[in-house]
Amino acid sequence: MKEGPDIAYIASLIGDPARANMLTALMSGKALTASELSYEAGVTLQTASSHLSKLDEGGLLRVRKQGRHKYFSLANEDVAGVLEGLMGLAAGSGHLRRRIGPQDAQLRHARVCYNHLAGDMGTQLFDSLMAQGHLALTGDELCLTASGEAFVADFEIDLTALRRGRTPLCRECLDWSERRSHLAGSLGRAFLRRFEELSWAKREPETRVISFSREGAREFNQLFAPGRLMP
């Protein structure tokens, strides 16, 4: 008998089309009810409940009860990272479930990946932080440098509070549309929250799209200029 992690079990949970649709819907970072997820999956509520039980048992979901309702979200960023990676693999292999729609360009430009910025603007953020020396790779580990700590503090992100949490501070996440890295971890989440606080960006209802205002895009591009190098 083979030993080690049972990847076939996890793959079978994700591989069912209805469950894959549910998990993809939860990539917005928003907790959804069984009814909402049944609609996303195109199945009955009873069938959706069965699928959700399997995903919960498999450790892919976090379930919270509030009043008479149960709310489902992805268990953690590890699950989101696997899903984003699979999306990139599927897109790169030409396995698309539908034709490109009017929202596709918006999703590729800027979207939420669980709780951080993805798409073209997400990879631009990552590339700029790397080019300016604020992020660095030590072996396979992504680290915030001393200049990065100063930059984050100037941007009014509480680094001390982030480090108190259990989530890794910096993580690379492979962007499915750009096929390059964007920033995940608690710092990636904090940057997106800060963009929203500054009214640079907002999440579009019922979608993963993030829209930047004209002023917000200008400020973003000034601070995170593509290919910007250290002075």
Per-residue model confidence as pLDDT tens digits over 40-64: 899 999 999 999 999 999 999 999 8
**Which has the closest alpha carbon to 156: 188, 191, 108, 205?**
191
- The percent of residues in the chain predicted with pLDDT above 90, rounded, is 60
What CA–CA distances, in Å, run from 35 to 25, 28, 43, 152? Answer: 13, 17, 10, 40
- pLDDT of 195: 98
pLDDT reported for residue 116:
94
pLDDT (average), residues 208-221: 96
Give CATH for domain 7-75. 1.10.10.10
Residues near 46 by beta carbon (within 8 Å), at least 6 away in sequence: none
Alpha-carbon span 26 to 34, nearest angstrom: 12
What is the mean pLDDT of the segment spanning 118-138?
94
Token reading at 84: 């984003």
Strand 141-144 with 171-174, pairing: unpaired
Question: What are the extents of the domains in the chain?
Answer: 7-75, 80-223
pLDDT, one tens digit per residue, over 15-46 is 999 999 999 888 877 788 999 999 989 999 99
Whole-model pTM: value is 0.70
**Hey, CA dihedral for 187, 192, 194, 197, is it positive or negative?**
negative
Q: What is the DSSP letter of 229?
A: P
Strand partners, 182: 173
SS3 of 146, please?
helix
Position 99, amino acid: R
- The lowest-confidence range among 85-99, 112-126, 158-172, 194-208 is 85-99
- Separation of alpha carbons 223 and 97, rounded Å: 36
> What residues form DSSP beta bridges with 112?
117
